[in-house]
């Protein structure tokens, strides 16, 4: 299927809030899929999750954290050893530099503890706004909304935003979600993106917000256009085949 365009208009506010309420009921166990036992482990896991899946990270981190259970130990690790452990996550050289430098900064600046303030978190190697938001919302229960590819896609398809950047999407979601639920909102959207609203083809027939979502009509229009195009292509060729002069048989050629 061709890429599904996002809706060009946001749904009304009351519809948007009803969509989010349905997702909240659909995914009551809204937690991160990353495995961790400490804020340090969560931070490193989120850095490693860039451009890969949480499932892949969960295969790597038990080995990594068994060997380097504290920021101090990771900061002093042999980079080649860390690279070998995390290689399957992709971009492993850059990620090795980031997690080792972040661990070193935790030791040198924050006594080995992960800071809870956004400015301090974003000062760490490999930590941008999304990673900071994950740590703040998951580890410290702060009202932060992390926008990853799932959140970006699902928010657009539901008509919750027209934002062209993750920050704009985040701001639109903040305007819709009550403060006490913001730390959970990312998980509703991520879980929905993984289970139903998949890229490139969403499972609209199974979607609990199908009747409110503006994307099914867009898909229906695309499908109708595709059927019409296919019919147009087959029509002339079929007609041409019907009116074309029949090929002479071998016996007919011999009779000439």
Q: Give the residue numbers annotated as catalytic, written as ranges.
A: 130, 148
Is 147 exposed, middle or buried, given 0-12, 13-18 or 19+ CB atoms closer than 10 A?
Answer: buried
Spatial distance between the Cα atoms of 45 and 253, rounded to a whole number of angstroms = 77
Q: CB–CB of 89/14 below 8 Å?
A: no
Across 17-40, b (16+ Cβ under 10 Å) vs e yields eebbebbbebbeebebebbbeebb
Q: Which pair of structure tokens corresponds to residue 142? A: 């702060």
**Residue recorded with tokens 């990353």:** 34
Q: Which pair of structure tokens corresponds to residue 101? A: 């430098």
| R_g of the chain, CA atoms, integer Å | 26
| Residue 37 DSSP one-character state | S
Q: CB–CB of 27/186 below 8 Å?
A: no
């Amino acid at each position: 299927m061709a890429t599904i365009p996002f809706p060009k208009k946001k749904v009304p506010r009351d519809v948007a809030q009803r969509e989010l309420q349905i997702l909240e009921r659909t995914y009551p166990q809204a937690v991160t899929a990353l495995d961790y036992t400490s804020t340090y482990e969560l931070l490193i896991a989120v850095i490693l999750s860039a451009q890969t899946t949480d499932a892949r990270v969960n295969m790597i981190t038990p080995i990594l954290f068994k060997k380097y259970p504290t920021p101090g130990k990771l900061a002093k690790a042999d980079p080649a050893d860390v690279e070998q452990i995390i290689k399957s996550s992709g971009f492993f050289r850059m990620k090795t530099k980031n997690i080792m430098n972040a661990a070193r900064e935790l030791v040198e600046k924050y006594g080995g503890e992960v800071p809870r303030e956004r400015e301090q978190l974003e000062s760490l190697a490999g930590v941008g706004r999304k990673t900071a938001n994950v740590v703040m919302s998951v580890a410290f229960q702060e009202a932060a909304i992390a926008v990853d590819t799932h959140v970006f896609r699902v928010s657009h398809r539901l008509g919750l935003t027209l934002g062209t950047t993750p920050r704009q999407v985040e701001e639109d979601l903040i305007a819709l979600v009550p403060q006490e639920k913001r730390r959970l909102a990312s998980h509703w959207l991520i879980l929905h993106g993984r289970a139903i609203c998949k890229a490139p083809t969403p499972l609209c027939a199974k979607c609990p917000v199908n009747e409110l979502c503006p994307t099914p009509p867009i898909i229906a229009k695309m499908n109708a256009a595709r059927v019409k195009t296919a019919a147009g292509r087959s029509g002339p060729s079929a007609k041409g085949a019907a009116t074309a002069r029949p090929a002479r048989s071998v016996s007919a050629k011999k009779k000439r």
